[in-house]
Amino acid sequence: MACFVLVALCSCNEFDRILKSTDNEMKYEVAMDYYDRKDYNHALQLFDLLQNSFRSTPKGEAITFRTAMCYYLTNDYEIAAYYFNKFVTNYPFSKDAQTAAFMNAYCSYMISPKSSLDQQNTYKAISHLESFIENYPQSDSIARAKELLGDLNSKLEEKDYNICVLYYRMENYNAAITCFENLLKNYPNTKHREEILSNMAKTYYDYAENSIPEKQKERYEACIERYNTLTYLYPDSPYLKEAEAVANKARKKLENIQ
C-alpha cells in the first residue's frame, strides 16, 4: 500500500483514477497520507468523498476531524468552525472532542470582524468560548480561551463606546446619556471610564442647555456630579481641565436658576 500511495502522490492521472475508484479503504489511506504530507487540497477532495461512507465509525471520526483541520490550516476559518462543531456534535466522547471544541471557538474568534462592523459573529464566538470554558474547566486551553474572550468583549466595548460618542456628536443627548450609563454598567472596568465621565459631564450640560426650563436644574446638577466623580476617581486625569470648565458653567447656570 505504501508504494501505491507514493505513486498516487506523484501522478495527477493516478489521483483522478483514485477519485473515481470505488475502493473507499484505499481512498482513505491515500487521503490520510496526503494529510500527513500537508497536501490539504488533495486530502480534502478525498475526505469529502468519504464523509458518508464512514459516517459514525472511527474512520469517519478521523475524517471529520482532519477535514476541519485542513480548512483551519488553509485559513478558511468559517468552514473549519463548521466542521469542528460538527465533530463535537457527532463525536462528543472522542479523545479529540476537547480540541475540536476549542478550535471551533478559536475559528469563530478569527472571523470576528473589526469593531465598526456588525458583531453577530463576535457574539457567536463569545458563546462558543463561554461554552468551552464551562464544559472543559480543567483544559490546558482555559487561559487562552479567557484571553480570547477578553479580546472579544473589548471589541464589543469599543463598539458601544463609539456609538455613545456618535450619539453625542449627533446631539442626541438623551440617547448618549443612556448609552454612557449602560456602558459603565456593562463594562465596570472599562479603559474608557475617564473619558466617559468627562463626556457625560459635557453631555449633561448640553442636554440641559437644550432642555425645557423645568428639566434644566437636574441636568446641570448631573453635569457637576459627573465632574465630581471624575475628580474623585482620577485626580490626575488629563480630562479634568475640560470637564472643570463645563462644570463651572453649569454652576453659574444653577445660580441663575436658584
**Does 135 fall in a domain?**
no
**Does 244 fall in a domain?**
yes
**Does 111 fall in a domain?**
no
**Does 178 fall in a domain?**
yes
**Does 43 fall in a domain?**
no
**Does 180 fall in a domain?**
yes
**Does 102 fall in a domain?**
no
Amino acid at 91: Y
Per residue in 110-160, pLDDT (tens digit) is 999 998 889 999 999 999 999 999 999 999 999 999 999 999 999 999 999
Give the count of domains, the chain.
1
Could you please report the per-residue DSSP string of 8-32?
A: HHH-HHHHHHHHH-S-HHHHHHHHH
**Does 132 fall in a domain?**
no
Domain range for 234 is 170-258
Per residue in 6-18, pLDDT (tens digit) is 444 456 678 888 8
pLDDT at 17: 84
CATH number of the domain enclosing 203: 1.20.58.80
Tell me whether residue 184 is exposed, middle or buried, using C-beta atoms within 10 angstroms of its C-beta: 0 to 12, 13 to 18, 19 or more.
middle
